[in-house]
Amino acid sequence: MRSMISGLIVGFFIISLVAVSCALDGTSAAAPVVMVTDKTHYALGEAIKLKVTNNLAVPILYIDYYQRDLVFWQIEKAQNGTWQVVDFRLPVIEGGAEVCRLILYERPVGSVTELKPHSALLYEWNQKICLFNTVTEPTEPGQIERGRYRFALLYSLNTVESEDIETEPWKRPIELGEAKIVYSNEFVLE
């Protein structure tokens, strides 16, 4: 009986250590993919650090872009009791400065990118955005509004070949299979 109680105490201690460890590094032992920010409150203009962790034993696939003004994540704002996608582009670098520019081309489709098992993807964002305005000269980037936000990432465990790419050349030749979505923690821009 004494050894059984000792075994239960040791088992409880180990489970507690794992739970504390997961809480400290922002992951959950049960969550296959975790998306977290480094803080829950930010001053306007402060860098937001985002981390996506693949806790699976297999890679996850997501859409990434080679252009600096497009990113693998979306951001959603809490409005009127629902989450609304915020539509914008990020600034581009010209002459060493961030600027917004009207880019007259169709939005690139990006490519399917792999996040290896038990690895993480890190991203840092300064909260600067470009709204879709018609301007002839580069303009200064704006600041995202104050409010409550979360990031979202669409991912999959497999891919599928796109149909009709000969007649619809804007499609990716390979597309995400059954899509899953992971949300970051909520955070506030003050």
Write out the two tokens for 106. 């169709």
Tell me 71's DSSP state. -
What are the tens digits of pLDDT across the range 129-175?
987 766 667 888 999 999 999 999 999 999 888 787 777 766 777 78
What is this structure's pTM? 0.76
Q: What is the DSSP letter of 40?
A: S
Quick one: pLDDT band at residue 108, thresholds 50, 70, 90?
low
The angle formed by the CA atoms of residues 83, 89 and 95, to the nearest 5 degrees, is: 150
What pLDDT digit, counting tens, does each position of 14-52 carry? Answer: 344 344 344 444 444 568 999 999 999 999 999 999 999
Q: Under a CB-based contact definition with an 8 Å cutoff, are residues 61 and 155 in contact?
A: yes
Q: If you average pLDDT over residues 111-140, what whole number do you get? A: 88
Is residue 35 within 8 Å of residue 71, measured between CB atoms?
A: no
* Stated length of the chain: 190
Kindly report the CATH class assigned to 31-189: mainly beta
Distance CA 102, CA 133 (A): 7
Residue type, 121: L
| pLDDT attached to residue 10 | 40
Domain range annotation of the chain: 1-29, 31-189
For the segment 15-24, what is each residue's pLDDT rounded down to a tens digit? Answer: 443 443 444 4
